[in-house]
Structure 1
Amino acid sequence: MRYGSLILEKKEYVYLKRILNVSGYAGDFETQNSLQKLSEELKEAQVVDNENMPIDIIRFNSKVSLVFQNGLEKTLQLVIPTDRDVKKHKISILAPMGAALIGYAEGDTIIWDFPGGKHHLKIAGVNQEETVKGLNLVI
């Protein structure tokens, strides 16, 4: 891990903690496990102000280029749950893949238990899109 722990922007961290505390949000066992692992990682996360966020950290609205252990390459965008759109490669922070990526940096390798089994992912690139304004969203 490039920075030693997850790095999250302060408002995004608060938003994540709020949605993870909503009991029974995830309907299936695998998603629940991913969200539990993310909750554990958040306990050790570095929380920083927006102006101090490194540019290579995956955060809300980041476009991420991934290389899977089988060589497959994929680009997706990490979004808040209401903005998810599989056809446009926009995945929710609450999806197992979203939970696996948030807070990691370009160049990091992630080992994560997905519904299809344990996978190794290399973060090949991170591009920042406009961040979510306000994050005073009703959950």
Structure 2
Amino acid sequence: MKYGQLIVDEKEHALLMRNMESSRSQEDKIYRDSIKKLKLELQTAKIMKETKMPEDVIRYNSIVTIRTPFNTQSSYQIVTPEKSNIQQNKISILSPMGLALFGYAKGDRIVWQFPSGTNEIEIVGVNQQDSLVKKEAL
């Protein structure tokens, strides 16, 4: 892990916790396990002000390029659940992939339980779009 722990914007941390608590998908085991794992990681995360956030850390609205074990490279934007649209490569923060990536940085490798099984993914790029904090009142 590049920074030794997850790095999370303080306002996005609060929004993420609200999103996880209000989610209705908790009957799915993989989803529940993903939430549980992220909550554990968030206990030791470094919570920072937006102005101090490193540019290569994945957060709301980041466009993330990943490489899978099959040497496939894909890019996704991490969005709030209501903006999720897989045809536009926008994935919900509450999807197993969104939960796996949040707070990690370019260069990190993550082992996570996905619907297809346990996989390792490598983060090969992070591009910041307008931050959620600036776009929406939290």
Residue 134 of structure 1: aligned partner: 136
Match in the other structure for 1:55: 55
Query: What is the SS of the residue equivalent to 2:19?
Result: helix
* CA distance in structure 2 between the partners assigned to 1:115 and 1:125 by the alignment: 23
Report what 1:111 is aligned to: 111
1:27 Cα deviation after fit: 3.8
Aligned partners of 2:9 and 2:50 also within 8 Å: yes
Deviation by residue 1:24-68 (Cα, 9 ceiling, x = unmatched)? 543411111111111111111000000000000000000001000
TM-score of the two chains, using structure 1 as the length reference = 0.93
Structure 2 distance, partners of 1:9, 1:55, is: 12
The gaps in structure 1 that reach 5 residues or longer are none
Give the helix-richer structure, 1 or 2.
Answer: 2
Superposed, 1:1-139 pairs within 5 Å as: 1-22=1-22, 24-132=24-132, 133-136=135-138
CA RMSD, Structure 1 to Structure 2 (Å): 1.2
Distance 2:25 2:41 in 1: 19
Q: Is the 8 A contact 1:12 1:135 kept in 2?
A: no
TM-score for both structures, normalised by structure 2:
0.93
Q: Distance in 1 between matches of 2:126 and 2:48?
A: 18
Aligned length: 136
Identity, % of aligned pairs?
Answer: 40
Any stretches of 5+ residues in structure 2 without a counterpart? none
Within 1, Cα distance between the matches of 2:8 and 2:126?
14
